[in-house]
Structure 1
């Protein structure tokens, strides 16, 4: 499947996960979503001519690792539940989460309604795309009764710690059942969605991630899925959709085939030191409302910018509300608001926003809507 690289600078109305493709004062260079091109044999042959996958990607842990290695234990526990996913457009990875249901990336299945699935060292079987959610880059595939039924993998119940060791299992370059290892490099990051926007609460890792790994599991050493691999940005920098977000989206995809994201209906800018000075703030705090969508949930409740200024080399709409907290949680970044909306709320919920407006602090309540599908 062709890589989909969302790099367009545009301000989207913040909806649930905020999924803002570009915000004034924020970096908009999105990581690259990776899938393996259709002709995996050609790709493998190409690697033999010098473009080989990183040496850390092997089909089984070998060398100095022993059968008691924690990586070997995780690999043996998980590999039978990890699949190679193939469509007319390319291939990626996935993993069993319930009997007959496989999770992968929405960008792996694309517009396909059926896919080919192969468990490690097993025969090919078909699968039906049961549901997709491009805004979280998650999809669920339903398998036929004749497909293998290994033990499903479970999502982790809590956020991994930075520095925690992790194991990635998948099909880089079409090589099914390959494993790489690394650590959690960061949490609360943003990952690219097929819509060109950003997914909040993403997990960053330095494990080697290559084309074809997309949709596979990133596992803790106790064998639980801490993230669904989504993309790589460069050497030792890769991202995954957090288990916390997947736990909310996947059951709805299985049940309904789609997922409704909460929607605030505003565009925001991170408050940098330069912007704080322009706003007359003593220090960077909160997030700035630059635009309020007409007719959206926040219309008449929050204020957007009233004039445009050049701040730090970028034009920013200023004069709007500064959001200091949501439901009692202090806001330091746009990602803080995005994650809270996506992980703690649903459409129809009412959120309480502490707002700095015209030099005074006030509290505003907004009933969330449903994010329009893109």
Structure 2
């Protein structure tokens, strides 16, 4: 179980230090807690009067009952479960189809069986049928009680500013909801293994705590924008995008694992300094810095031949500059990584437009599979 990076104040936990995937939890607090943030400002009043909203026995008003977040909670919470492993770690997961929950790899680890708690009285043993450490995703097969519906994935990238909710089990408090907005898109976050950066991640300011990992980040329609992966600081948390989930999870269901597309070339974004040193007309694309002899890109892409200093900075010179892949412009190293992860597959041959020897040309490049992880 990896400790969390997030500092948590109050009665729930003491401060702890975390690694990359720090939102699964080993312990639960002894007391419940509440968060009335989503109810703020939602009371009904009559304009120009001093009338106060009438509250019922539970302290809520009619306006509270009609809160968009209340509706989202009602529509999604039954589809989100508390996941516990035999080694004592815990997190969240959501129903992907009639028999399968999606969660984080770092929640289940190498456990073959886990506890899936649907509510206070119903808990069943599930079997981990697929896992991918690089994308930090895992799939659990379990006998799902009647009446629980799978959650749908969004089919496009969310806009920054989109209102969202995180539904999950922070510190084992099953059925909790926090709210916020999408505060960034197309982020890269470290995976639980050191050789990969998870592309296309969604950033949110919704509070995320240990135990939220694996739960859904949803929009106000209850559709899943991503799988909560980590919370690394005040008002910053990340989720694995629905686009990557849509790529990886079907393979986990079919084969138990996922083969990541792989070039093997080390690249760097073409900055103004790189463009100047190489005589490029503008700062565009990514330059190929190094191509080891045993990777798929060997013999297909040309690496830089030297390193020069420009205004005191070392920059690569002489390599191919990748401008586009299959007609999609590549503006940065992050763009290339995201394209390969979301659009390419091992054994694909891609049409790559490069700047080479002062001219722009198109070359075919065959993609391989990223090497298996060594235990």
User: Where does the alignment leave 5 or more consecutive residues of structure 2 unmatched?
Assistant: 6-17, 43-58
Deviations 1:259-301 (A, max 9, x none): 1111122111122333333333343210111111313222111
Name the Cα RMSD after superposition. Answer: 2.6
- Is this contact kept in 2: 1:192–1:231, CA < 8 A? no
* Partner Cα distance (2:98, 2:230) in 1: 26
- Is this contact kept in 1: 2:38–2:69, CA < 8 A? no
* Partner Cα distance (1:55, 1:272) in 2: 46
Q: CA deviation at 1:233?
A: 2.3
Q: Which residue of 1 aligns with 2:208?
A: 209
Q: CA deviation at 1:74?
A: 0.8
1:331 equivalent in alignment to 2:334? no
Q: Which residue of 2 aligns with 1:92?
A: 91
Helix, strand or coil: the match of 2:274? helix
Q: Which residue of 1 aligns with 2:2?
A: 2
* Partner Cα distance (1:108, 1:141) in 2: 11
1:34 equivalent in alignment to 2:40? no
Alpha carbons of 1:360 and 1:228: their partners in 2 closer, same or farther (altered >3 Å)? same
Q: Which residue of 1 aligns with 2:181?
A: 183
1:153 equivalent in alignment to 2:151? yes
Q: CA deviation at 1:317?
A: 4.2
User: Where does the alignment leave 5 or more consecutive residues of structure 1 unmatched?
Assistant: 6-29
* Partner Cα distance (1:273, 1:31) in 2: 34
Q: CA deviation at 1:131?
A: 0.5
Deviations 1:25-84 (A, max 9, x none): xxxxx98312343232xxx24x89xxx8977599xx986762221111111110001011
- Is this contact kept in 2: 1:35–1:91, CA < 8 A? no
Largest Rg, 1 or 2: 2
* Partner Cα distance (2:275, 2:34) in 1: 46
* Partner Cα distance (2:150, 2:114) in 1: 19
Where do 1:293-332 residues align within 5 Å?
293-309=292-308, 315-332=314-331
1:277 equivalent in alignment to 2:282? no
Alpha carbons of 1:254 and 1:86: their partners in 2 closer, same or farther (altered >3 Å)? same
Helix, strand or coil: the match of 1:194? coil
Q: Which residue of 2 aligns with 1:364?
A: 363
Alpha carbons of 1:287 and 1:312: their partners in 2 closer, same or farther (altered >3 Å)? farther
- Is this contact kept in 2: 1:34–1:213, CA < 8 A? no
* Partner Cα distance (1:327, 1:82) in 2: 38
Helix, strand or coil: the match of 1:229? strand
Q: Which residue of 1 aligns with 2:191?
A: 193
Helix, strand or coil: the match of 1:248? helix
- Is this contact kept in 2: 1:130–1:257, CA < 8 A? yes
Number of positions where the alignment pairs a residue of Structure 1 with one of Structure 2: 340
* Partner Cα distance (2:355, 2:185) in 1: 28
